[in-house]
Amino acid sequence: MCGRMAITLPHEAMVQVFDAVPSNDLPPQENYNVCPTDPVAVVASDQGRRLRTMRWGFIPHWYKKPNDGPLLINARSETIAEKPAFRAACRERRCLIPADGFYEWTKAPEGARLPWYIHPNDMGPLTFAGIWQSWSKDGETFDTCAIVTTPANDTMSQIHHRMPVILPTSDWSKWLGEDGKGAATLMRAAPNDALSFFRVDTAVNSNRASGAQLRDPMTD
């Protein structure tokens, strides 16, 4: 699962890394506490790659309003091709969602929620497999997205049983549909040595918290 993340890669860098044309309405470049329904920069391919703004929280076309049903921030790889909300997007509207890292929580014996920051070992940006959907009703229009998740690898399973599908550079074209079929084969866990994690302060438990200190390692 992925329910919170950090995104600080400058737009100019994303444009170069993904060879994409930027939209003119991209979200703030530094957000250390990206929450569901926040805007995120997403790479989609439609007559070329484009870096676009989307709402994190997939809205199926039959919702009469954005909060008409469950908040769909993740899509399970095992059922994505069958779920009515996701199956068309899985075939036709896949995207890349860049991030620095993401947060997960474990529970202390007394019940407190303990946050962890998960980051790539190579210190480069993560690229999550995503799907997207345009939603429009009564003059409101949103491009919305969800992160595809898969059962956790051995490293991540120490703190959570699921993790985002993380795509290496070599898989970007296939996931976007630029390089033929076979995207389904990419929905797997990253290698065990791809990620590391450390405890961070419980300040990040609040969706109102902000600032680079949120992902500072705890020292005691």
Q: What was the pLDDT predicted at 172?
A: 97
Predicted TM-score (pTM) of the model is 0.96
Q: What was the pLDDT predicted at 215?
A: 95
Token readout for 158 is 């120490």
Provide the terminal-to-terminal Cα distance of the chain, rounded to the nearest Å: 27
Distance, in Å, from the CA atom of 212 to the CA atom of 178, rounded to the nearest integer, reads: 36
Q: What was the pLDDT predicted at 220?
A: 67
Q: What was the pLDDT predicted at 123?
A: 74
Q: Contact 103/195 with Cβ under 8 angstroms?
A: no
Catalytic machinery residues: 2, 104
Q: What was the pLDDT predicted at 140?
A: 82
Q: What was the pLDDT predicted at 138?
A: 82
Exposure of 82 by Cβ count < 10 A (0-12 exposed, 13-18 middle, 19+ buried)? exposed
pLDDT digit string, tens, across residues 22-81: 999 999 889 999 999 999 999 999 889 999 999 999 999 999 989 899 999 999 999 999
Token readout for 11 is 């737009």
3-state helix/strand/coil string of the chain: CCCCEEECCCHHHHHHHHCCEECCCCCCCCEEEECCCCEEEEEEECCCEEEEEEEECECCCCCCCCCCCCCECEEECCCCCCCCCCHHHHHHCEEEEEECEEEEEEECCCCCEEEEEEEECCCCCEEEEEEEEEEEECCEEEEEEEEEEEECCCCHHHCCCEEECECCHHHHHHHHCCCCCCHHHHCCCCCCCCEEEEECCHHHHCCCCCCHHHHCCCCC
Can you list the domains of the chain with their CATH numbers? 5-215 (3.90.1680.10)
Q: For the chain, which ranges sit under pLDDT 50?
A: none
Q: What was the pLDDT predicted at 2?
A: 82
Q: List, in order, residues 6 or more apart from 145 with CB less than 8 Å away.
A: 40, 42, 54, 55, 56, 57, 58, 95, 97, 130, 131, 132, 133
Q: Around Cβ 46, how many Cβ atoms within 10 Å?
A: 10
